[in-house]
Homo-oligomer: A and B are copies of this chain.
């Protein structure tokens, strides 16, 4: 007899709900708690206690925002990350993202079998999608013109650069992508973007948007003054931030850098 394990999905937002739905569609028994106010999903909802009886528990990303309660903005009631919660998790396989946040909430959580899904490469790949959409939403909100026909520079052709370039092109923008490695430049060309070697960024200008995805400092003062002239600069790189955005914004003379957003 094959026994299918049951899953308890706790808290989180739309993405957590979508994941629960997709698992249920694959035939797994899934119980959801803390997603009471998520709209229009066919989820089997349960109380915290009931969902915690499942064999596998899936916690949201991040697991907590305040260090005290589970991250569950759509929950009817809150769930404390206390010893009682810990006791219910004991002996189960617990999936979570950014597990250090949980460990800070209580030492005893270290005793659990925690599987950090945010460290998996495919998780990082999939996570590039909401990041790219977030950047696009900022871009649409801040720009008076249209994305279609706008001149966009994406620095870096990693996960976010790849996804974002594709979306911008899909929206009708004219997309330039910078990279260092010759093979990335070859891919950039194959995908139909204009390739620019990172070292030659200052030779290119006239962009409406610059989306920085490179976590190191690639825009020096000179490149900023040339390339970012009049552009809206949206920084998607992890700290310490390649574009030195805040700095750029403060120092920028009017008309130099249009606007700068840090997006972490």
Contact = CB atoms under 8 A, between A and B. Distances in A.
Contacts of A124: 183
A-side interface size class: 35 or more
How many of these chains are in the complex?
4
Given A122-B182, A140-B136, A129 B40 contact: no
A14 B172 contact: no
Nearest to A169: B170
B125 A190 contact: yes
Interface in A117-141: 120-122, 124-126, 128-130, 133, 136-137, 140-141
A229 interface: yes
A183 B136 contact: no
B39 A255 contact: yes
B172 A192 contact: yes
23 contacts: A14-B144, A14-B145, A15-B144, A38-B144, A39-B255, A40-B229, A120-B182, A121-B182, A122-B181, A125-B183, A125-B187, A126-B186, A126-B190, A128-B190, A129-B146, A129-B148, A133-B146, A137-B137, A149-B189, A166-B170, A166-B172, A167-B170, A170-B172
Contacts of A167: 148, 170-172
A198 B79 CA distance: 41
A206 to B, nearest CB: 9
Contact of A140 (B13, B120, B133): B133
Contacts of A169: 170
A186 B229 CA distance: 29
B145 A18 contact: yes
A1 to B, nearest CB: 22
A230 interface: yes
Nearest to A257: B40
Interface in A143-174: 143-149, 163, 166-167, 169-172
A183 B13 CA distance: 23
A177 B264 CA distance: 33
A96 interface: no
A258 interface: yes
A132 to B, nearest CB: 8
Contacts of A30: none
A189 B173 CA distance: 11
